[in-house]
Amino acid sequence: MSEVIGENEAKALYEELYKQLPRKKNLSMLVKNICKSSDTEKYVYELKDNKYIETVFIKRRDGGTVCVSTQVGCPVGCIFCESGRNGFVRNLTSSEIVQQIILLRRKVNRIVFMGMGEPLFNYDNLIKAIHILRDRYGLNFPTDGITISTVGPVDQLKKLREEHLKIQLTISLHAATQSARNRIIPHMRIYAIEDVVKQALSYSERHNRKIVFAYLLLPGINDRPSDVRQLAKWFRGKKVMINVLQYNPTSNSRIKAPQKREIVAFKHQLEQAGLEVTMRVSHGREINAACGQLANTYNKFKKK
């Protein structure tokens, strides 16, 4: 008669295996390289088809945040992001998504799907990976510690709203008008910005979650007084935080990076309009591991 392993024993067994280096036969990817700075590590993973992805680990006081990729390359084409400048290759499998965390062999407090690729364009594999991470016989990772960062494809946002996950959601909005967003995220012009906002707020209401709207400040493009007014119209009184981002240098020389004083002034304007605002601190710039900088020079992309 086979012995039934209890929940505590199963979790203890998994944690013990997690501390060990996984056997190669159980892996479909390997660590190719690790770049390190004072508080950030960038892992380059080689996949079985000789493609590469990058994953970032940001050290915290009692563990760390891991920024996980969901695609090789990216189809979205944000003008401030390196990942999509060379095109899109393929989606990652749910196994490849999970292995990025396992192979770190580090204590992880927070998982953010904000690496290479648009998470919701790899919807099925993403959701499967999240269920694996949350499973009590797997990593048993808390729901509050998982965030999807997305540009907000509307159909997928509607599906996510109906999932029984209640994970954290960050919307890369970056504009308050359709014309500005089309310029910043050109491949998302098929989605009306009003619909993106509407679906994000609907997710917030259904799951009782505060939604973060990421806003990369680009002087002369999305920093006008009318932009502040529109953001206030959408979000004042809602469970929303505006996260103002600073541009991290990429190969796009046409982008004018804002001065720190411009970012602080814009944040103050939003606060004066009654919004909750924070400023994101970038980590890993010196090793090209900050937001927008992941691209991986190992890959030979072909535009599609």
Round the average pLDDT of the chain to a whole number and report it.
84
What is the mean pLDDT of the segment spanning 106-116? 92
The answer to whether 118 is a known catalytic residue is no
Whether 194 is catalytic is no
CA 199 to chain centre: 18
Q: Which of 23-32, 213-222, 234-243, 274-283 has the lowest mean pLDDT?
A: 23-32
Query: Which segments of the chain does DSSP mark as H helices, in order?
Result: 7-19, 94-102, 123-134, 154-162, 178-184, 193-207, 225-235, 260-272
Q: Which of 67, 74, 78, 291 is catalytic?
A: 291
Other Cβ atoms within 10 Å of 43 Cβ, number: 20
Whether the per-residue pLDDT at 122 is higher than 60: the answer is yes
Task: Report percent pLDDT > 90 for the chain.
Answer: 60
Rounded to two decimals, the pTM is 0.86
- Active-site annotation holder among 41, 54, 82, 96: 54
Largest interatomic CA distance in the chain: 72
The radius of gyration of the chain's CA atoms, rounded to the nearest angstrom, is: 20
Task: Tally the C-alpha atoms within 13 A of residue 26's C-alpha that lie toward its C-beta.
Answer: 10
Indicate the SS3 state at residue 208: coil
pLDDT tier at 227, thresholds 50, 70, 90: very high
Confirm if 102 and 22 have CB atoms less than 8 A apart: yes
- The predicted pLDDT at position 23 comes to 60
Length of the chain counted residue by residue = 304
What local confidence, expressed as pLDDT, does residue 198 receive? Answer: 98
Which residue has better confidence, 249 or 84? 84
Pick the CATH number of 25-287 from 1.10.150.120, 2.40.50.140, 3.20.20.70, 3.40.50.11030: 3.20.20.70
pLDDT bracket for residue 22 (50, 70, 90): low
Q: How confident is the model at residue 286 (pLDDT cuts 50, 70, 90)?
A: very low
Examine the pLDDT at 141 and tell me if it is beyond 80. yes
- In this prediction, residue 207 carries a pLDDT of 95
- Token pair in block for residue 129: 């990976």
pLDDT band at 117 (very low <50, low <70, confident <90, very high): very high
Give the residue extent of every domain in the chain.
Answer: 25-287
187 or 284: whose pLDDT is higher? 187
